[in-house]
Amino acid sequence: MSKIDARLQELGIELPAAPAPAANYVPYVLSGGQLFVSGQVSAGPDGLILGKLGDGLTVEDGAAAARRCGLSLIAQAKAALGDLDRVARVVKLVGFVNSTAGFGDQPKVVNGCSDLMVEVFGDAGRHARSAVSAASLPFGVAVEIEAIFEVK
């Protein structure tokens, strides 16, 4: 068992299956020493996590949705690399939050994903990041996050 798989087990985290693309794109691209993972939407065991932050969804709801995006990002990395121990570093996350014009806590929402990356990868999970508002997201999901990983 790899070190990261053991860490996931220790944390009680079961990765979802790597989601298939919803349109004409690939879920990830490995280029040189970097893995680019396409945006992963907030999906839970019961389907998509829908809604708008600031209009029915709380910061806590959004952070939970962002964590679900993070689980899918890690699942895509595992599908691409075969072994999560090949992740040298989480380089960057870009988070999009479906939110009202007056909502300003996008960084707190995207922390749901950022915190997961540090839980799983330790210091190698610390990353650069953007957390931006979106008037809407595909399928009406609450959060979408993309990632860049450095690969060993």
Domain ranges of the chain: 3-12+32-151
Mean pLDDT over each residue of the chain, to the nearest integer: 96
Q: Is 3-12+32-151 in CATH node 3.30.1330.40?
A: yes
- Could you tell me whether strands 47-48 and 43-44 are parallel, antiparallel, or unpaired per DSSP bridges? antiparallel
- With a pLDDT cut of 90, the percent of the chain lying above it is 95
Q: Which residue has the tokens 């879920």?
A: 27
- With a pLDDT cut of 70, the percent of the chain lying above it is 100
Contact assessment for residue 118 and residue 124, using Cβ atoms and an 8 Å cutoff: no
- Could you tell me whether strands 128-134 and 87-98 are parallel, antiparallel, or unpaired per DSSP bridges? parallel
| Residue 15 structure tokens | 């990765």
Contact assessment for residue 40 and residue 19, using Cβ atoms and an 8 Å cutoff: yes
pTM over 0.95: yes
| Residue 121 structure tokens | 């990868």
- Give which of 140, 134, 13 is closest to 73, Cα–Cα: 13
